[in-house]
Amino acid sequence: MQDEPTPTELVKAVADFLRSEIVPAIKGHNAFKLRVGINALDLVTRQLAMEGPSDAAEAVRLKAMLGIDGSLQELNRALAEKIAKGEVDLNTPGLKEHLWQTTMDKLAVDQPNYGSYKRELGKGASDN
């Protein structure tokens, strides 16, 4: 493993270079495709920065709610099965808050400039 630059720093540097140096020189449909590529690099940068902490917090919430241990994928599968069987619903303590926080964490990576996401940042799950 390399010390510096980190993968996050490398991806961000490429996106910043493309945005500042290459985008101004490209026109038309190729400029659009370049911006799509830059947006994908920006998304990867956010995911690299946020995925670990948000996944860890999600796993903690799921373990507490379900009373079992496992990988995040296993815990989500168990939750989905309980929901499908009707064993868990929005009246289950912690579920609504868990779903809300998980959605907000995913939006922070995928759509941080989405108007509804920005509007909801100041609200808690209990307001929803």
pTM: 0.77
Q: Where do we find the tokens 């449909």?
A: 29
Average pLDDT score over residue span 87-107: 95
What distance in Å separates the CA atoms of residue 63 and residue 46, rounded to the nearest whole number?
Answer: 25
Q: What is the mean pLDDT of the chain?
A: 92
Q: Which helix (H) or strand (E) holds 51?
A: helix 28-66
Nearest to 101 by CA among 60, 68, 67, 66: 60
- Per-residue pLDDT at 89 exceeds 80: yes
Torsion from C-alpha of 19, 21, 24, 28, nearest 10 degrees: -70
**Contact, 105 vs 57, CB < 8 A?**
yes
